[in-house]
Structure 1
């Protein structure tokens, strides 16, 4: 598959290297030709000097054949404009934009443009290390009504069945990460130690659902 990346900073260069190492073709667009020095010496993809939202630059990068486009420059406005051009002009289905301002990221998320809010991501990672029991949002539908969240589970839930988790939380267990691999559980799948539970839940019920899992099951579960 072919991927186009706007921005050859640390994030863009890392993405380009990883995608190429996985066997994909990659084109990187940056208005500063010196930025391409961040790419590894073995990088065989295209280096296009220009603005990431310029149609000619995107065409040189092969945007018409792109499976996905990532705008990861250091400018919010440039990233959003480039993401919209890739999606609305060239019809790229998989588009993501890096946004530094989390409030703006929420707006664009509701407009259907997937975003990665750098400040929020960093804060979430720090908080997760300070408060290990908590829910981390992994996805929200465009209306923000439904969320997919990753939840830590109290050790008391080990040995309990998935259907009990769903009954107590009022949510659906979308999948479980076990030993680093995702799995879709059956109702009678038993939770094991160190399992990570990913819940699909109404956004306004994320807090209550996490509080249920953060504590031990009630005696009625015994």
Structure 2
């Protein structure tokens, strides 16, 4: 799969390393060609100099064939504009923007664009949002047998209840992160677009849960 990253700073470089490590193709966009020096010497992707919110620049980076787009420059306005172009004009499936202002982040999440803030785990959070659905472990209890995992809700999950999800995945739901706010769940809680579901499972069962995640509700 092909991915496009706008912003070749510390976060963008870390994200690029991770995406290449997963075996995907990649294009980096930055308006300063000197920024590409941050990339590792063995970087095999494309380097595109230009503004990430420019449609011609995005096309040059292969946006029309991209599975995911991450806008991680230091400018909130540029990030959200670029993310909206990637999603609304080019129909990129996985789009995420780095937004420093938490109030603005909530507004953009309501528009359907997942965001992350400027925190220590920004690169990991971006990776989880831009790659295909999988389990991300966010906490492991001291014996190592029980883990708290996170999954970004797929379109096919929207409208499903927590009871349905628990039955299909074989997990115990803990809470949902919705518009950057934690919401406790019950069996009747209905999932919405861009929800992040946090659930408990046994570490030994996590690979099986990952497999079920990839298939869940897609054959309905």
User: 2:186 — aligned with what?
Assistant: 170
The offset of 1:18, in angstroms, is 1.3
With normalisation by structure 1, the TM-score equals 0.59
The offset of 1:89, in angstroms, is 1.2
Q: Does 1:40 align with 2:40?
A: yes
Per-residue displacement from partner, 1:84-118 (whole Å, max 9, x unpaired)?
A: 01011111121000000111100100111111122
User: For residues 82 and 178 of structure 1, do their structure 2 counterparts lie closer, same or farther at Cα, with a shift above 3 Å needed?
Assistant: same
Q: Distance in 1 between matches of 2:14 and 2:119?
A: 19
Q: Distance in 1 between matches of 2:186 and 2:45?
A: 48
User: 1:108 — aligned with what?
Assistant: 108
Q: Distance in 1 between matches of 2:97 and 2:120?
A: 14
Q: Distance in 2 between matches of 1:136 and 1:92?
A: 25
User: 2:10 — aligned with what?
Assistant: 10
How many residues align? The count is: 158
Per-residue displacement from partner, 1:15-73 (whole Å, max 9, x unpaired)?
A: 11111121110000000101101100000100000000111111110000000100001
User: For residues 62 and 56 of structure 1, do their structure 2 counterparts lie closer, same or farther at Cα, with a shift above 3 Å needed?
Assistant: same
User: For residues 2 and 12 of structure 1, do their structure 2 counterparts lie closer, same or farther at Cα, with a shift above 3 Å needed?
Assistant: same
The offset of 1:177, in angstroms, is 3.9
8 Å Cα contact 1:100-1:119 kept in structure 2: no
Q: Distance in 1 between matches of 2:63 and 2:49?
A: 14
Per-residue displacement from partner, 1:144-192 (whole Å, max 9, x unpaired)?
A: xx9x9xxxxxxxxxxxxx78x9xxx7348974243383665xxxxxxxx
User: 1:51 — aligned with what?
Assistant: 51
**What residue ranges of structure 1 are gaps of 5+ in the alignment?**
123-127, 130-134, 149-161, 185-222
User: For residues 30 and 171 of structure 1, do their structure 2 counterparts lie closer, same or farther at Cα, with a shift above 3 Å needed?
Assistant: same
Q: Distance in 1 between matches of 2:75 and 2:63?
A: 20
Rg larger in structure: 1
8 Å Cα contact 1:177-1:183 kept in structure 2: no
Q: Does 1:88 align with 2:104?
A: no
Q: Within 5 A, what are the aligned runs for 1:40-189?
A: 40-118=40-118, 170-171=186-187, 175-179=199-203, 181=206, 184=209
Question: What secondary structure, in the 3-state scheme, does the structure 2 residue paired with 1:19 have?
Answer: helix
With normalisation by structure 2, the TM-score equals 0.60
8 Å Cα contact 1:175-1:182 kept in structure 2: no
8 Å Cα contact 2:87-2:95 kept in structure 1: yes
